């Protein structure tokens, strides 16, 4: 950020900044664009800077000039306009009044505004982001040393507008969430909080995915420094924070980025490339260097100024394919459907983040088989840290929705992921998109009566937690909500009055603790060195058994999945070492809502080769359950 007494003509607002911005090489353009509170020539005020390359004139309108015509000045042929207004500061309201060459005028919010009015109002608000005292240095130092690929990552996905609401429908504030959400997530055993977009957006129904203010913390929950305080407290409680980020498209509201200077400014000129018919939005033009400066600066803005630990990049597929949307499309220069400019932008973005915040997580929400999403740019990849495994999610939810009688005919839905699971670095998602728009809650996706639905959900979550890949689960999944997500009201906390929901919540807490405390479930997540498939072919009994392994030979666990409501006796599973084993989890115990009153404490290995292992255990697999068994005292293994 600009220091308090910098001269806009002699330092940050220079020809060099304008050149870098216009060539796509300015990765911190928020330091001079927008509304900067500062002192200039001994006068305190605000320097306004905006890019409107095809405007005839640009004026500043605000509550400080009765929304009139404050003259802004063009900076040569750069397309950038500036003005310094003395005597205003924090809290001032403003817009840009843009005049086209045909004389038509319209008002626009500031693309670089740090604050915005609460909808339905649309003015930008001057905010000074300097002066917040961060106390998360210990967390940030740990983050730099942490290996994200081997560390446990269990993300709690949150829409702040509907985790909780006040009785009168008012939103909770960042400050209130700091007091309630952070302790809850910490107690439940998650490692990260992921926030659906908290950038300013006009329509609640978009959940934040149709943005007008890319640099503006939404006024629904408070001011920018209150978000800083929230993230700071997360870090002090050893919780990472990931922000959903939407560089693919923006909404068409008149005060936003759409046709910003009266012409396609941030979007493509070609309507086939600019228009997203499916979402009613507009795509950024990834061929424009100024768009690169705008978006890459925005990514670093949230990572550096707000100390976010990572960005989950939304709708990556729509950035990769020219024919992703419904309707007509324009091929690339080679006649293909790949958006070459989008690919180039994503590589440049991830390289910039890696150079400036190498510990930051860049997560692609990408739903196709586009190759090398998480591979290094220098090796032909896009450079993301992780990719959501949408294929696994679709297969597994389709499988669990089946009547167990028919699951033997679709056993491949359980096992197919192991054909590709290490081709990328994956996160397994059970996200908001799967529990909304008539898709039902996770609990109601399960077939059968109430007892079977809870059994099925426990089994699903245990399989997810033991399968290779990091994890993300949407808020409310841990409560076993009956109703699907309703973004206009809080979660079904009332359900915790019932024993079945309280037990399920405790079960998820136990499952999260097991995932965090046992390295075998996260340490080797990106290669076959982390798993031995014992039996993937027992489709007639719908059994699936495997071993998850850590780097130390002693760090392993045997996982027995029974995907039918039929108890399987005398199940023999292979183990690598002779000795005693003990039960770590039985999802059918009464304490979790099941029917088993006791746990099998120990198992003695049998000297019999099974599943390509030298020894075996004989177990009873409860109906619709997952058993996790770990070594207790074993022989023949070197640490």
Residue among 575, 595, 582, 564 at smallest CA distance from 627: 582
Residue among 365, 263, 593 at smallest CA distance from 458: 593
Do the beta carbons of residue 117 and residue 91 sit within 8 Å?
Answer: no
Which whole-number Å values give the CA distances from 466 to 168, 602, 629, in the listed order? 41, 21, 12
For 498, left (φ over 0), alpha (ψ -120 to 50), or beta? Answer: beta
Residue among 96, 115, 99, 117 at smallest CA distance from 107: 96
- 403 given a catalytic annotation: no
- 180 given a catalytic annotation: no
Tokens at residue 65, please? 């000039």
Catalytic residue, candidates 157, 261, 285, 314: 314
d(CA 312, CA 299): 11
Catalytic residue, candidates 365, 478, 532, 555: 365
d(CA 246, CA 364): 11
What are the two backbone dihedrals, phi and then psi, of residue 549, each rounded to the nearest 5 degrees? -130, 140
Per DSSP, the chain holds a count of helices (H) and strands (E) of 13, 31
For 309-373, give the secondary structure using H, E and C. CEEEECCHHHHHECCCCCCCCCCCCCCCCECHHHHHHHHHHHHHHHHHCCCCEEEECCCCCCCCC
Query: What's 483's DSSP letter?
Result: S
Strand order through the sheet with 556-562: 531-535, 543-549, 556-562, 625-634, 579-586, 602-604
The three-point CA angle 214-485-154 to 5° equals: 70
Do the beta carbons of residue 256 and residue 212 sit within 8 Å?
Answer: yes
Q: Is 371 exposed, middle or buried (0-12, 13-18, 19+ CB in 10 A)?
A: exposed
Residue 629: which H helix or E strand, with range?
Answer: strand 625-634
Tokens at residue 365, please? 């929400």
SS3 category, 455: helix
Tokens at residue 580, please? 């005693």
Do the beta carbons of residue 204 and residue 162 sit within 8 Å?
Answer: no
What are the two backbone dihedrals, phi and then psi, of residue 213, each rounded to the nearest 5 degrees? -115, 90
Tokens at residue 79, please? 């397309």
Catalytic residue numbers read 314, 365
């Amino acid at each position: 950020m600009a220091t308090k007494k910098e001269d806009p003509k002699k330092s940050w607002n220079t020809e060099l900044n304008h050149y870098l911005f216009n060539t796509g090489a300015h990765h911190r353009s928020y330091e001079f664009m927008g509304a900067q509170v500062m002192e200039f020539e001994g006068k305190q005020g605000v320097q306004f800077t905006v890019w409107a390359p095809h405007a005839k004139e640009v004026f500043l309108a605000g509550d400080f000039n009765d929304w009139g015509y404050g003259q802004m000045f063009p900076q040569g042929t750069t397309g950038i306009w500036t003005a310094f207004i003395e005597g205003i500061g924090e809290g001032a309201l403003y817009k840009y009044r843009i005049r086209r060459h045909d004389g038509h005028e319209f008002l626009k919010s500031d693309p670089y505004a740090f604050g915005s009015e609460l909808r339905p109002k649309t003015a930008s608000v001057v905010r000074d982001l300097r002066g917040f005292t961060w106390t998360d240095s210990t967390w940030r130092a740990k983050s730099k040393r942490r290996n994200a690929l081997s560390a446990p990552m269990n993300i709690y996905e949150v829409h702040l507008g509907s985790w909780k609401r006040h009785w009168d429908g008012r939103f909770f504030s960042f400050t209130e969430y700091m007091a309630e959400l952070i302790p809850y997530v910490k107690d439940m055993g998650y490692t990260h909080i992921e926030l659906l977009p908290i950038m300013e957006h006009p329509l609640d129904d978009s959940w934040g995915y149709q943005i007008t203010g890319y640099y503006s913390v939404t006024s629904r929950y408070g001011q920018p420094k209150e978000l800083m305080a929230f993230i700071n407290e997360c870090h002090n409680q050893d919780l990472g924070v990931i922000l959903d980020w939407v560089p693919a498209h923006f909404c068409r509201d008149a005060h936003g980025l759409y046709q910003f200077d009266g012409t396609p400014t941030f979007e493509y000129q070609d309507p086939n490339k600019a228009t997203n018919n499916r979402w009613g939005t507009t795509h950024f033009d990834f061929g424009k260097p100024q768009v690169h400066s705008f978006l890459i600066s925005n990514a670093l803005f949230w990572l550096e100024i707000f100390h976010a630990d990572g960005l989950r990049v939304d709708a990556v597929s729509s950035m990769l394919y020219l024919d992703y949307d419904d309707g007509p499309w324009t091929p690339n220069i080679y006649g293909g459907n790949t958006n070459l400019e989008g690919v180039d932008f994503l590589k440049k973005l991830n390289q910039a983040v890696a150079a400036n915040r190498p510990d930051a997580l860049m997560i692609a929400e990408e739903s196709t088989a586009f190759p090398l999403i998480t591979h290094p740019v220098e090796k032909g990849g896009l450079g993301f840290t992780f990719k959501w495994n949408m294929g696994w999610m679709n297969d597994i939810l389709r499988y669990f929705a089946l009547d167990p009688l028919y699951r033997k005919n679709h056993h491949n839905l359980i096992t197919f992921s192991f054909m590709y699971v290490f081709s990328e670095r994956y996160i397994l998602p059970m996200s908001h998109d799967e529990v909304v728009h008539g898709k039902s809650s996770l609990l109601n996706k399960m077939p059968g009566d109430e007892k079977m639905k809870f059994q099925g959900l426990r089994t699903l979550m245990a399989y997810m937690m033991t399968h290779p890949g990091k994890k993300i689960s949407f808020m409310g999944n841990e409560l076993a909500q009956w109703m699907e997500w309703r973004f206009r009201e809080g979660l079904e906390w009332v359900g915790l009055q019932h024993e079945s929901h309280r037990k399920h919540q405790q079960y998820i807490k136990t499952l999260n603790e097991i995932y965090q405390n046992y390295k075998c479930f996260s340490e080797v997540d990106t290669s076959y060195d982390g798993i031995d498939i014992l039996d993937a072919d027992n489709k007639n009994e719908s059994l699936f058994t495997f071993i998850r392994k850590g780097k130390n030979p002693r760090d392993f666990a045997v996982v027995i999945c029974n995907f039918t409501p039929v108890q399987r006796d005398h199940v023999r599973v292979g183990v690598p070492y002779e000795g005693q084993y003990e039960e770590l989890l039985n999802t059918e115990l009464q304490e979790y809502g099941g029917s088993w009153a006791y746990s099998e404490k120990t198992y003695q290995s049998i000297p019999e080769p099974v599943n390509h292992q030298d020894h075996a255990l004989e177990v009873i697999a409860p109906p619709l359950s997952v058993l996790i068994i770990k070594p207790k005292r074993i022989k023949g293994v070197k640490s």
